[in-house]
Amino acid sequence: MDLVMKLSTYFLPTLKETPSEATVVSHRLMLRAGMISQSTAGIYSWLPLGLRVLKKVEQIVREEQDRMGGQEVLMPLLQTAELWQESGRYDGYGKEMLRMQDRHERDLLFGPTAEEVITDIFRRYIKSYKALPKCFYQIHWKFRDEIRPRFGVMRGREFLMKDAYSFDVDKESAVNTYRAMMRTYLKTFQRLGLAVIPVRADTGVIGGDLSHEFHVLAQTGESQVYYDKKFDTFRENIDQVDVDEIMGLYAMADEMHKPEECPLEGEDLREARGIEVGHIFNFGTKYSEILNAKVVLADGSSIAPEMGSYGIGVSRLVGAIIEANHDEQGIIWPESVAPFQVALIGLGGTVEVSEVCERIYKDLEKVGVSVLYDNRSEGPGVKFSTADLIGLPWQIILGPKGLQEGLAEIKCRRTGDRESIPLESLVSYMQEKLC
């Protein structure tokens, strides 16, 4: 990705007024910040600024999947009906699944998930218990023809999802994989700057017996979650807490919460709003059995491997991050996903100011800091508003007055704190702030 862009040429169609269709804050801000453009209900184009964020999120998710031993694959968008008929889900999935025919009148569908495809791959190549465990994942577009898409990219029909599928030789090994994925998820969400609670969940259409949903805590969340207050104290280093301990704590989504069965009382029980951004399942041999995927054991007998599947809504996360990180002025990106690290704002439109600004961004570029330079001939108010709206973590402001004294101002978007820094130490100061 380019480290430096100038606003005079960058495609950033910001809006002063909120389009009337957007009611939730992340949707409003994504439209106003020129991140997305709606094509039709639940289907969006990602514009340059939004795409940068999406890719950042995607990359963090990918790195953590790789770290836990996942192997990335890319499966087809279109799947054949036969495979789904074989698994028995073709009729069961309902209208949410978009179905179509090719020119030969062969029945196809736009994949809403990929258990069938991955199991088909597995059964064609993997024959021995020695090859296990295996975990595959992809980050790919899904289409689910939701009854009612809403909230911008938080509930689109077309959405970017990380879906992973695991195969283990037995239950015990499968539960280990499940725990490893739990740890991976906690780490992933922590890197994304989100407070997340893993709640016990219903296994729904996917089936199975062990399942957690991951909810980003945000006041505007769609679902109510109930959880042990210990989660609040884990927040900072949740990835280092023992996974069994976390799984042992009480945490339930609304529909699973039974006050009479809840072991917590009063202060110990926290209630909050959450946005579901991830869901993990262990579902045993449901698909391996029905699709006849088998491995041979040491004793020559064969078994159907234990499977799990693990989803993260990558595009939904972009919305969820905004829900959890914004103020009246606009978005406040966590540094890990910010489309650029620094907004460089040149004021006054003098040659001197622009020359120094050019030098600043070149110096920052050299040390790997990404900068969006507002070199438009707009007044200061417009530039400040734009910078606050798009929410880059740091603003470097240089005006004629500061230049005379050899000072630039650095503003932290999140706290609003401002500091005047001598121009010559600007780069090292920024490097320090960003590490």
The residues of the shown chain that bind RNA, judged by CB under 7 A, are 14-21, 23-24, 27, 38, 40-42, 96, 144, 146-151, 154-157, 159, 161, 202, 204-206, 213-214, 222-223, 276-279, 311-313, 315-316, 329, 347-349, 377-382, 384-386, 388-389, 397-402, 409, 411, 418
Give the nearer residue to RNA in terms of CB position, either 12 or 249.
12
Q: How far apart are CA 319 and CA 306, in angstroms?
A: 34
Give the nearer residue to RNA in terms of CB position, either 129 or 151.
151
Give the shortest CB-125-to-RNA separation in angstroms.
26
Give the shortest CB-116-to-RNA separation in angstroms.
15
Q: How far apart are CA 269 and CA 286, in angstroms?
A: 35
Give the nearer residue to RNA in terms of CB position, either 308 or 313.
313
The beta-strand segments (E) located in 229-349 are 251-253, 269-284, 295-296, 302-303, 306-313, 326-327, 330-331, 342-346
Output the CA–CA distances (angstroms, integers) from residue 119 to 108, 260, 311, in the order listed.
Answer: 18, 41, 16
Q: How far apart are CA 56 and CA 250, in angstroms?
A: 32
Give the nearer residue to RNA in terms of CB position, either 169 or 392.
392
Give the shortest CB-113-to-RNA separation in angstroms.
7
Question: In 3-state terms, what secondary structure has residue 77?
Answer: coil
Give the nearer residue to RNA in terms of CB position, either 66 or 202.
202
Q: How far apart are CA 14 and CA 34, in angstroms?
A: 5
Give the shortest CB-148-to-RNA separation in angstroms.
4
Give the nearer residue to RNA in terms of CB position, either 184 or 294.
184
DSSP structure class, residue 94: G
Give the shortest CB-163-to-RNA separation in angstroms.
8
With CA atoms as reference, report the closest residue to 319 among 16, 22, 21, 25. Answer: 25
Count of beta carbons in the 10 Å neighbourhood of residue 77? 13
Give the shortest CB-332-to-RNA separation in angstroms.
13
Instruction: Determine the Cα angle at 409 with ends 404 and 410, to 5°.
Output: 155
**Cβ proximity of 208 and 282 under 8 Å:** yes
Give the shortest CB-108-to-RNA separation in angstroms.
20
DSSP structure class, residue 425: G
Helix 25-32 to helix 314-324 angle (10° resolution) is 100
Give the nearer residue to RNA in terms of CB position, either 171 or 401.
401
